[in-house]
Amino acid sequence: MVSRRTFLSTLSVTVAGCTSTSSPDPVAETSRTTVTQTTTSPPTTTESATKTTETTREPACDGRWSPTVQWSLETEVRAFQPTVADGVVYAGSQDGTLYAVAAGTGRLRWRVPSDPGFGTVPVVSGQTVTLAGYDEVAAYDVATGDERWSFTPPGEYASLTDSHGDDGDTVFVGASQRPTPETDPDNVYDRVYALDRVSGNRRWQVSIAKSDDPDAWAVPDAVVVDSGRVFVSTEQSELVVLDASDGSVRWRRRFGDSNHRLALPVVAGDSVYQQASRTGYVLDVETGTERWRAPAERRPAVAGDASYWIDGLTLVARATSDGSVRWKRAIPTEGCPRTPRVGDGVLYVPVGCTDSNASIHALDLSNLCWVGSFELDSRNATTPVVSDGSVYVGGLNGAGNLWSLSAVGTDDSS
């Protein structure tokens, strides 16, 4: 049990609702597609959803994706996952700088220094873009980069990671701070704040620590907002779901007996997808009831009635309804696969490790064929963002870079 005397701190932000293992022969494995037919009995909520009957077929792979680098931007240090809105790419970097870049040309529109520290994904709502820095969240004018407001929670120390979103008028901030006598020492742990998006003024605050265990506390690590719910993943293996209007707890779910940091949850339709301890859990979004689970090492991409998971060096497609396996594909390289992204009928899978160059691999979902890849000359790669015929990805190549690549199917992708 983690006590208040043993302190690690994390601050995570959201603005409601915008939103390795090795393969013995990975090259040989990419020459086939595994197609699976599900059994008639779906798995129970406690059974791993892996019962399948598998057949194989050879896809007609044409290798047509040889993307053009449309532009790249040196960011001095590691660039994090970008956001694209109204023809502008916004990206934060490891030193806290926020960049605004013209999507079509790569021309830098503006850059602003923020509080150095962990990087998050920028979120754009109207004329405001928000970014989480080391110990604060700040809002900037999208046209000029001028700061509109910033918020730092009380306490001696706080940090900010991973996520935020927007429901049009509220920013949600998760914070766990080391207290001082001057800053409410008995009551600053484990809070989630709701802030006015325009002014940054506080609307409400709640503690997500369990009231029946005064020595336990929960470090909020990432926040996702969807349909009036605030999903808070913690470093204590727990997912806590709050009502966005007042912060009341709707439900909470713990994953395993040990404390570990949870991945950012994915909310799609009536389900929430949570990766924890090499397992992917799919829960009812209203009640938290488990629907199914399956092996997984990354958070999934979800599109339509399919979810796409990383299991070792294998990409697995599962039905969102019951977790039954639809097909499996070997990822055509060794390394550390990251969270995939679907765009225009293509699944893009980033692969990278700190001791090797990162790469992006494209799978055509219409024929399950790997149609090409691109090496980034970078030690890592973010989850890619697909928008208007381009693939945007951040990484680190010594100086740090943000890339724009031509997407599969565009005139300059071969």
Strand partners, 360: 350, 374
273-279 contacts: CB < 8 A, separation 24 or more? 273/299, 273/300, 273/302, 273/307, 274/233, 274/239, 274/299, 275/299, 275/300, 276/237, 277/237, 279/255
Topology of the domain covering 11-19+21-406: Methylamine Dehydrogenase; Chain H (2.130.10)
Strands 301-303 and 306-311: antiparallel
User: CB of 259 within 8 A of CB of 236?
Assistant: yes
What pLDDT does residue 240 have? 93
Q: Using CA atoms, how far apart are residues 405 and 362, in angstroms rounded to an integer?
A: 12
> pLDDT per position in the chain (414 positions), as tens?
433 333 333 444 455 544 433 333 332 333 333 334 433 344 444 444 544 434 344 454 767 888 999 999 888 778 888 999 999 999 988 887 899 999 999 999 999 986 645 567 888 888 999 887 667 888 999 999 999 999 887 765 454 445 555 667 888 878 766 555 555 555 546 788 898 989 999 999 888 877 555 555 566 767 888 889 999 988 778 999 999 999 999 999 999 877 777 888 999 999 999 999 899 999 999 999 999 999 999 999 999 999 999 999 999 999 999 999 999 999 998 888 999 999 999 999 999 875 678 899 999 999 999 999 998 877 788 899 999 999 999 887 666 689 999 999 876 665
The model scores a pTM over 0.95:
no
What pLDDT does residue 4 have? 36
Amino acid at 282: V
Burial class (CB in 10 A: 0-12, 13-18, 19+), 240: buried
- 248: enclosing H helix or E strand: none
* DSSP code of residue 135: S
Give every CB contact of residue 154 below 8 A, 6+ residues apart in sequence: 177, 179, 183, 184, 188
Q: Distance from CA of residue 271 to its chain's centroid?
A: 16
Phi and psi at residue 195, in whole multiples of 5°? -120, 145
* DSSP code of residue 411: T
What pLDDT does residue 105 have? 96
75: closest CA among 405, 412, 400, 299? 400
User: Which residue spans within 16-134 are E strands per DSSP?
Assistant: 33-38, 52-57, 69-74, 83-85, 88-92, 98-102, 108-112, 123-125, 128-132
What pLDDT does residue 193 have? 85
Please count the other Cβ atoms lying within 10 Å of the Cβ belonging to residue 414. 16
Give every CB contact of residue 52 below 8 A, 6+ residues apart in sequence: 36, 37, 38, 39, 324, 325
In this structure, what token pair is assigned to residue 10? Answer: 């994390």
Domain segments of the chain: what residues? Answer: 11-19+21-406
* DSSP code of residue 367: T
Biggest CA-to-CA distance, the chain: 67
User: CB of 271 within 8 A of CB of 281?
Assistant: no
Between CA 379 and CA 390, with CA 384 as vertex, the angle to 5 degrees is 115
